Amino acid sequence: MADENQKRNANVKQDRDRSAKIVHSQFDNIGLTKRNAEYMFKFNKALNGTKLADEKKSAQIEQMVQELLEGQKSGETARNMWGTVDQKVDSIVNPPKSKPGVVTKADYWPNAFYNMILFFVIFNFMYGIMALFSKNAAQATMGITGIVLSSVIAGLGIPLLTMLIAPGVKHKYPLWIRIIMIVGFFAVWMLVFFVAGMIPGIINPVLNPIIYIVLGAIGLAGQFWFKKNYNITGSLF
């Protein structure tokens, strides 16, 4: 009985060793140094112990291998690039939160669309409520095309604007240049408002106040959806 248990344990150990060799071999003969291949083997083993989705694990491994192959050209090692295996795994499982006002390239378009919807909501509610409770306000109400155009300009510019005024960030331009850029953006935005008011009514119709309010409510739902599903850091509100 004891011999059978020993034989079974020996077989289990052999299976584990064989599996480890197979996993280890995926980082051999792909251009990595022995030290970097060993790092990736340990990292892969540690990452498999997390609850990260399999597709994210695979994508992360592939990305790191490509970065390592490039880094090796200048003598970089995995340890120098990412620290210890545990540190790298932790940075992936618990990524640092973006600083308020800091928009990365990957986050720009979600932030831009969020701000487009935000100002679309503001303008629709503002003009809808004004026209609903004031008889004369209808004459100053912006048409729907003008609202969309103004919202698009705001959406594209606000994420960049918040980067210019973000505290605790090393800025590329000195303060006086950033002030000029901010003033320039608002000047362009005001010009868009002026031009939007001159668009012929046939392509820029003024809608019923109730429709404006309904559009604002629909936009508000979209705004909450974006806020919930994307990293929104570049917004005035």
Q: Is 87 helix (H, G, I), strand (E, B) or coil?
A: helix
**Residue 192 near residue 149 (C-beta atoms within 8 A):** yes
Residues with Cβ within 8 Å of 191's Cβ and at least 6 positions away in sequence, in order, are: none
CA distances from 182 to 79, 80, 188 (A): 42, 39, 10
Residues with Cβ within 8 Å of 33's Cβ and at least 6 positions away in sequence, in order, are: 72, 77
Residues with Cβ within 8 Å of 144's Cβ and at least 6 positions away in sequence, in order, are: 204, 205, 206, 207, 215
Query: Distance (Å, rounded) from C-alpha 231 to C-alpha 109?
Result: 10
Q: Is 230 helix (H, G, I), strand (E, B) or coil?
A: coil
Residues with Cβ within 8 Å of 118's Cβ and at least 6 positions away in sequence, in order, are: 154, 155, 223, 235, 237
Per the structure block, which two tokens stand in for 68? 């390592």
Element at 121 (helix H, strand E): helix 105-133
pLDDT tens digit at each of 237 positions of the chain: 444 444 444 443 444 444 344 445 677 777 888 888 888 888 888 888 888 888 888 888 888 888 888 888 888 888 888 889 898 888 888 876 555 556 666 678 888 999 999 999 999 999 989 888 876 665 667 889 999 999 999 999 988 888 887 776 677 788 888 899 999 999 998 898 888 878 888 999 988 999 999 999 999 999 988 888 877 876 766
Angle of helix 144-165 relative to helix 175-197, nearest 10 degrees, comes to 180
Q: The whole model's pTM is what?
A: 0.57
Query: Distance (Å, rounded) from C-alpha 83 to C-alpha 89?
Result: 10
DSSP track, 190-220: HHHHHHHHTS-TTTSPPPPHHHHHHHHHHHH
